[in-house]
Amino acid sequence: MSAWLEAIDGVKHPALRRARALATPAGRARAQQFLIEGDGLIRQALAAGAGVAEAFLLAGVEVDASLGESLARAGVRCHTLSRGLLTKILGTGYDTSVTAVAIVPMRLSTVEALPGMGGPLLVCERIQDPRNVGVLLRTAEAGGAKGALLSADCAEPFSRAAVRSSTGSILRLPLAVSDDLPRDLRSLHAAGLRVIATSARAPTPIRAARLDRRCAIVVGNESEGVSAETMQLADDTVAIPVAGGASSFNVTVAAGILLYESRRGEAGEE
């Protein structure tokens, strides 16, 4: 065994206990840490300077030399363990193809810092599906948003489903969680951002809206949309035309369209 690897041989090992605690929301909140899975996400975390605290590698699987060197160079404490123990860390009741898991710290921005990120923000209100939360973070990064703001009643962004669905964006995108979204939207407005809410019944079609880098784009709950209170705080409400018999776009698709339009508007494209 390499000198930088330590074997875990039972459920009472302190490192295993630390990792298993992060399978629950309460455990993540106490530790202010969460789990990432797979070589790819671990590489992304190292590249992003996300502060990998510990790594757990499946015993009997050859560790990629470059990954091992990167972990060792970063001073990450690494452990090997059986597939059964790895499954216990993940909190799943079934076998998994995952061969590596790591612990990384939660890095939350303040709402006050978000307007200074230099681009549009994506604001998410009452998103209930953690997979949608993860995809929204991925969409925000891919769509050019410089940060995301989640209302506290969104699904937890550091859950396993959300982290996996973010495909690494949660490691890079500045993220804040609001316990009072109306107050924080007023704060963003005071900082010079136009608050743009979305609604299928909005008077302004997306092509007529002024979407640019100085805006906060608000998307709402999967079934109910943006709340009436948030609508009242918006500088403009925008509708995305829907063809056929569909009632609306999925919230993640709507976010992508809006962010793309904000980039198109900034570039002055027709």
How far apart (Å, rounded) are the C-alpha atoms in residues 84 and 82?
Answer: 5
Per-residue pLDDT tens over the stretch 81-101:
999 999 999 987 666 788 899
CB-based burial of residue 148 (10 Å sphere; 0-12 exposed, 13-18 middle, 19+ buried)?
buried
Name the pLDDT band for 204 (thresholds 50, 70, 90): confident
CB 55 within 8 A of CB 77: yes
How far apart (Å, rounded) are the C-alpha atoms in residues 105 and 82?
Answer: 24
Name the pLDDT band for 4 (thresholds 50, 70, 90): low
Q: Helix axis angle, 39-47 relative to 65-73, nearest 10°?
A: 40
Please tell me the predicted confidence (pLDDT) of residue 1.
Answer: 40
Residue 177, both tokens: 């969680």
How far apart (Å, rounded) are the C-alpha atoms in residues 182 and 26?
Answer: 26
Q: What share of the chain is helix, strand, coil (3-state, %, to 5)?
A: 40, 20, 40
Per-residue pLDDT tens over the stretch 8-55:
989 999 999 999 999 999 999 999 999 999 999 999 999 999 999 999
Return mean pLDDT, the chain.
90
CB 16 within 8 A of CB 88: yes
189-227 burial: b if 16+ Cβ within 10 Å, else e: beeebbbbbbbeebeeebeebebbbbbbbbbbbeeebbb
Q: What's the residue count for the chain?
A: 270
Measured CA distances, 270 to 174, 198, 203 (Å): 30, 21, 21
Task: Say which residue, 265 or 220, is predicted with more confidence.
Answer: 220
* 3-state class (DSSP) for residue 154: coil
* 3-state class (DSSP) for residue 84: helix
How far apart (Å, rounded) are the C-alpha atoms in residues 242 and 248?
Answer: 6
Name the pLDDT band for 256 (thresholds 50, 70, 90): very high
Sign for the pseudo-dihedral over CA of 85, 87, 93, 94: negative
Question: What residue ranges define each of the domains in the chain, with the CATH number in brackets?
Answer: 5-105 (3.30.1330.30), 111-267 (3.40.1280.10)
Sign for the pseudo-dihedral over CA of 247, 251, 252, 257: positive
In what helix (H) or strand (E) does residue 207 lie, and over which residues does it extend? Answer: none
Mean pLDDT of 147-156: 97
pTM here is 0.92
